[in-house]
Chains A and B, each alone.
Chain A
Amino acid sequence: MSPQRLPARPGEVIDRDRALAFTWNGRAVSGLAGDTIASALAAGGCRVFSRSMKYHRPRGILTADYWDPNTLLQVGEEPNVRAGHRLLEAGMAVSAQNAWPSVRWDAKVLTNLGGRALSAGFYYKTFMRPRWLWPAYEKVLARFAPGGVIDAGSAPRRHDKRYAHPDVVVAGGGPAGLAAAVAAARAGAGVLLVEHEHALGGHLRWGTKHERSIAAALADAAQVAGVEILTDATVTGRWEDNWLAIVERGGAGGPERLIKARAKVLVVAAGLIERPYVFAGNDRPGVMLSQGARRLLNLWAVRPGSRAVVWSANTAGDAAAADLEAAGVAVEHVDARAGCTVAAAQGRRGGLEQVVLSDGTRLEADLLVTAAGWTAPTSLLNMAGVRPRYDPAAARFFPAEPDVPEAGTVLSTGGISGDGSLDELVGHGEATGRLAAARAATLAHRLQVATAWAAPVDGREPPEAPDERTPLGRDPHPELYRSSTDGIVDLSEDVSSRDLRHGAAEGFDSVELVKRWTTATMGSAQGKLETVNTVAVLADATDSTISEVGTTTWRPPFAPVTLGALAGRMFEPVRISSLHDLHVAAGMTPIQAGQWIRPEHYGDPAAEVRNVRTNVGIIDVSPLGKLDIQGPDAADLLSLLYVNKWRRLAAGAVRYGVMCAEDGVILDDGVTGRLGEDHYLMSTTSSGSGAMEVWIQNWLQTEHPDWRVRVTPVTDAYTSINVAGPRSRTLLERLVDDVDLGPEAFKYMQVRRGTVAGVAGCVMWRIGFTGELSYELHVPAGFGPHVWQALLAAGADLGVAPFGLEAQRIMRLEKGHFIVGQDTDALTKAPTAGLERLIKLDKPDFCGRPELQWALDGEPGAEDPEALPRLVAVQPTDPAYVPPEACQIVVAGSDGNERIIGRITSSRFSPTLERSICLAQVEAAHAAPEGTLTIVGTDGRRRSALIIAHHAHFDPEGERLRV
């Protein structure tokens, strides 16, 4: 390894005064600020950067950029760093991947290129049988798999996301893209310019002094014009209506950011990617593309070799030869346009020593530069529906028509569109930018008109701008894909031209098939370098043309995106009630229920149950969904939503109701109280409150827009407190003056409005989810803490104490109240949950009526009632055994095998009954009261249980709540 850094060169991007120390495979080395990792290593004389994926052949720099398939390295704990692109930083620990024991001496090397051991379809053929060996195969394959090492213990990173709404996004900051961005911005458009590399200018950056000065002038103009410029960023996907994914790389140590941009017009100016040539030994270190050689030489002043053969079919290759010669490299310039091609690159130990030409000439060289032609990265255009079309005269694909997609909101310019002098490219870019700005203005006007339907929009719609650009020409170029010899087509995946021919011979003769069979184009370069060669080799093998074979489908992402950037930062808000701080101070154990943070208990849920059953407890039920319903047609709405009747509910009364979907499945339940003539307060379950609001709006807006009724969500407007227990009335009487709480004046299932602890406008309804005498208070939310504290203070001598969600769940199970979504599921129709008597079929219409009618009447179309599960209350024979929820219930079949007939849906140990209690869903045939069930525990043991007559395990007559 001898140093290859040349004396200062005009246009170099390195800072010779700032040396950066780093390590390469553990050895201390150094580079310069401005180097990429690969250029720094190359400057130090490194020629072998990696081992190839399957054959473990040594590999060196090919393109010296992002798409280089041979310079994926491990940097610290980050695997698969693209060393041709990533800028060097001091202290980086860089090492080779996929090499053992070292990148120079790899134990797994297989030099027999195309040997049957690893031929096309090798994985499929070798590792299919026997099936029982799959786990062993996986271990072997994992050792051979490429890629670096992930440190599972590395610190998590925070990735942000950004949303952008530019008028015009220009993908590519080369001359045409820059000119387009400047012209669009000068025409008044907001422009976002996205450049893949670290600096603007495209291929001008490693060009002549004149070219570099043009690039600098355009970049300055972009700044002045107010273009927002992103470098080291890629437009990586395009979807409907120019919804774009832009990945903004953070460099070393910095997290990637995903930008979701809605552009009015997308300009694709992605330039051209140089194509490798396929011949024997084309993957040897020392074989380089002309752009790679020029980048090394002109950007980083690295001499890519000392004795070069430059085989060139175009002016870019000729320029590389001139650059090398000027830098003192001995150059043999072979003109591909004269018909001579490269047949082989040869050497010992994976190095390059001589080049064999098709006419038999042998040339000594340690560097072979090829300039065989270009691939147009039309990916973003293809994502917009444009199909690439092959032009044999120019030896590359072009967009089918200049600009087809979506009413002209996706345009292309630069190398993708055609060839030309620098002036012509800039001129085409400018015209494209002006067109983009004009079309964006038209679209902006339309969007404004569509948005501001109630407000007048200034001005008239700008006329849709016609595309009057002078099309770029197409330079003739020889079709150069594969020599007479075989070589590697896909360097990332180690797929050779022979593999492709074998694939075609085995019947995988379409490009989409042979791609999947051989994995060609499926590696880290994702087809950027190898797609067209794959197509050409396949065309050759199947005796067809490149146009007939066509290309594989380009799909997002164009450039890879880390999972962290896709995930972004999680923003999941939680909801807390106005009493949250008081619960914390009282030592609650919190539990997240849906979005809500709620007290699960305050230390001892069983004690909380006993206190409610003997004294009085208070629970925060603020998450309960609450809807204020007003209007003359409110009763019609309730009648439609619930399966039971509502028209004759008296003012001052509350009623329990169940809602079903149109398929008869239970959707939600709760109580609704009539506060006044046309005024109701509806409660829904906590988890269902959002969905119920939408459900109700759907009915009102689509089926009954004529109804005079307004529904307002008031969940957060009230702090809801349930005061439960035999002493609850005594406690409330101390705080309420304006409502008679006497048992005759304020009965079970009634509602009153009054003043609690001095707070006016409270709604009180007397209901009993816990099974005790209880009052649910809905207090204007700001006064929640005051009322809560007043209750605790006023009831100290009564033994009042807060209770949490767990105690409430125990008590509701003691009472046999089901929870929608826990004891019912997506198949539970109202009759199967024991709600037959609630369903009133004499109403002409309500949600789910037809299904419920068929279910109840057994009419044609009804399911077999015996096959449907029923909700039953169950008590295990062993009172100490609490079967975990979801345990199965089985019955012995006639054939001796057990059959599942149901499951436990809720289970708790009841402190009141001092035994285990359950709700279960069981097939109707086995659901009769007094029947015995067999529960399969999580330990596999069978235990017996008894079905009890009523859902309520405790106080089935409800005497306690009617006192």
Chain B
Amino acid sequence: MLLVPCPHCGPRNSADLTLVGESESRPDPSATTPVEWRAYLYEEHNPAGWTRETWYCRLGCGRFFVTERHRGQNRFRNPPLGAPDESARRR
């Protein structure tokens, strides 16, 4: 099982966390189009390379944070410690 580097708790078993999804900005809800909005809702890019992801530290600190993971090699590039990135977002 992968160790996920929570910036607050340190590395924890991935089963302790929830992968929220790829980190993307939420479109402006008053100006968005169906195509753009549904791409935001449903589309994952899932490259076999580095991906910005939002994780939720479910059984730990309860925080959402952004990290980078190489989806081909399944390893993390740790982000700087501290507050969650502004563009981290829900699904």
Contacts of A447 in B (CB 8 A): 10-11
Q: Is the beta-carbon distance between A698 and B1 smaller than 8 angstroms? A: no
Q: Is the Cβ of A241 less than 8 Å from the Cβ of B8?
A: no
Contact (A450, B10) CB under 8 Å given A698-B90, A702-B84: yes
Q: A694-B58, A702-B88, A861-B35 are in contact. List 16 more A-B contacts (CB 8 A).
A: A239-B1, A240-B75, A241-B1, A241-B3, A243-B1, A452-B10, A453-B7, A453-B81, A662-B41, A695-B90, A697-B62, A697-B64, A701-B84, A705-B83, A705-B84, A850-B34
Q: CB-CB < 8 A to A241: which residues of B?
A: 1-3, 11
Q: Which residues of chain B from 1 to 19 have a CB within 8 Å of any chain A CB?
A: 1-3, 5, 7-11, 13
Q: Is A105 an interface residue (CB 8 A)?
A: no
Q: How far is the CB of B12 from chain A (nearest CB, A)?
A: 9
C-alpha spacing A860/B32, complex, angstroms:
12
Does B29 contact A849, Cβ atoms closer than 8 Å?
yes
Give complex CA distance A720, B62 in Å: 26
Within the complex, the shortest CB–CB distance from B11 to chain A, in Å, comes to 6
18 interchain pairs (CB within 8 A)? A240-B1, A240-B3, A241-B2, A243-B13, A450-B5, A453-B8, A453-B10, A453-B81, A694-B56, A694-B58, A701-B88, A702-B86, A703-B90, A844-B29, A850-B29, A861-B34, A861-B35, A861-B38
Q: Which residues of A contact B35 (CB under 8 A)?
A: 861
B67 to chain A, nearest CB (A): 12
Docked complex Cα distance between A243 and B56 (Å): 21
Q: A451 contacts B11, CB within 8 Å?
A: yes
Q: Which residues of B contact A702 (CB under 8 A)?
A: 54, 64, 84, 86, 88-90
Q: Are B11 and A450 in contact (CB under 8 A)?
A: yes
Does residue A608 face the partner (Cβ distance < 8 Å to B)?
A: no
Interface presence of A707 (CB below 8 A): no
State how many angstroms separate the Cβ of A824 from the closest Cβ of chain B: 19
**Contact mask B64-91 → A, CB, 8 Å, 1/0?**
1000000000110010010110101111
Q: How far is the CA of A243 from the CA of B86 in the complex (A)?
A: 32
Our count of residue pairs bridging A and B at CB distance below 8 angstroms stands at 79
A845 at interface by CB-CB < 8 Å: yes
Bound Cα distance from A844 to B35, whole angstroms: 20
Q: CA A850 – CA B88 in complex, angstroms? A: 20
Is A733 on the interface with B (CB-CB < 8 A)?
no
A68 at the interface (CB under 8 A from B): no
Which single residue of chain B is at the shortest CB-CB distance from A849?
B29
State whether the Cβ of B33 lies closer than 8 Å to any Cβ in chain A.
Answer: yes
B54 contact set on A, CB distance < 8 A: 702
B85, chain A: closest CB distance, angstroms: 8
Interface size in chain A (residues, C-beta < 8 A): 29
Q: Across chains A and B, which 7 residue pairs bring their CB atoms closest together, nearest first?
A: A451-B10, A861-B34, A698-B90, A243-B1, A702-B88, A241-B3, A240-B2
Bound CA span A850–B31, Å: 9
Interface of B, helix, strand, loop or mixed by DSSP: loop
B interface with A by C-beta (< 8 Å): 1-3, 5, 7-11, 13, 20, 26-27, 29-30, 32-35, 37-38, 41, 54, 56, 58, 62-64, 74-75, 78, 81, 83-84, 86, 88-91
Please pick, from B30, B41, B91, the residue contacting A845 in the complex, using a CB distance under 8 A: B30
A697 to chain B: which residues have CB within 8 Å? 62, 64
A699 at the interface (CB under 8 A from B): yes
Q: Which residue of chain A has the shortest Cβ distance to B14 in the bound complex? A: A240
Q: Report the minimum CB–CB distance from B7 to chain A (whole Å).
A: 7
For residue A663, CB closer than 8 A to chain B, the reply is: yes
Q: Is A851 an interface residue when CB atoms closer than 8 A count as contact?
A: yes
Task: Tell me which residues across on chain B come within 8 A of A694, comparing CB atoms.
Answer: 56, 58
Chain A residues lying within 8 Å of B62, measured Cβ to Cβ, are: 697
B residues in contact with A127, CB < 8 Å: none
B78 to chain A, nearest CB (A): 7
Smallest CB separation, B51 vs chain A (Å):
16
A854 on the B face (CB < 8 A): yes
Interchain CB contact under 8 A, B10 and A240: no
A286-314: contact bitstring with B at CB < 8 Å (1 yes, 0 no)? Answer: 00000000000000000000000000000
Q: Are A705 and B1 in contact (CB under 8 A)?
A: no
Within the assembled complex, what's the spacing in Å between the Cα atoms of A433 and B9?
A: 30
How many angstroms between the C-alpha atoms of A447 and B11 in the bound complex?
Answer: 7
Q: Contact between B90 and A699 (Cβ–Cβ < 8 Å)? A: yes
Contact residue among B37, B74, B86 (Cβ-Cβ distance under 8 Å from A240): B74
A845 contact set on B, CB distance < 8 A: 29-30
How far, in Å, is B55 (CB) from chain A's closest CB? 11
A694 to B61, CA, bound (A): 12
Once bound together, how far apart are the Cα atoms of A241 and B56, in whole Å? 20
Mark interface residues in A451-479 (1 if CB within 8 Å of B CB, else 0).
11100000000000000000000000000
Q: Which residue of A lies closest to B20 (CB)?
A: A698
Across-interface contacts of B10 in A (CB, < 8 A): 447, 450-453
The answer to whether A854 touches B34, judged by C-beta atoms less than 8 angstroms apart, is yes
Closest residue on chain B to residue A452 by CB atoms: B10
A669 nearest CB across to chain B (Å) = 19
Please name the residue on chain A nearest to B18 by beta carbon: A694
| Chain B: minimal CB distance from A795 (Å) | 42
**Which residue of the partner chain B has the closest CB to A700?**
B64
Q: Which of A452, A453, A663, A701 contacts B64 (CB 8 A)?
A: A701
Asked whether, in the complex, the Cβ of B3 is within 8 Å of the Cβ of A705, the reply is no
Most buried by B among A240, A662, A850: A850
CA distance A243 to B3 in the complex (A): 9
Contact string against B for A residues 826-863, beta-carbon threshold 8 Å, 1 for contact and 0 otherwise: 00000000000000000011000111001000001100
Q: Please encode chain A, from 213 to 250, with 1 for each CB lying within 8 Å of some chain B CB and 0 for all others.
A: 00000000000000000000000000111010000000
A826 to nearest B CB, angstroms? 13
Which residue, of A698, A701, A703, has the highest number of chain B Cβ atoms within 10 A?
A701
Give the chain B neighbours of A262 by CB distance below 8 A.
3, 13
Q: A702–B27 Cα gap in the complex (Å)?
A: 14
Bound together, the chains give a CA A453 to CA B6 distance in angstroms of 11
Nearest opposing residue in chain A for B91, CB measure: A662
Residue of A whose beta carbon sits closest to that of B58: A694
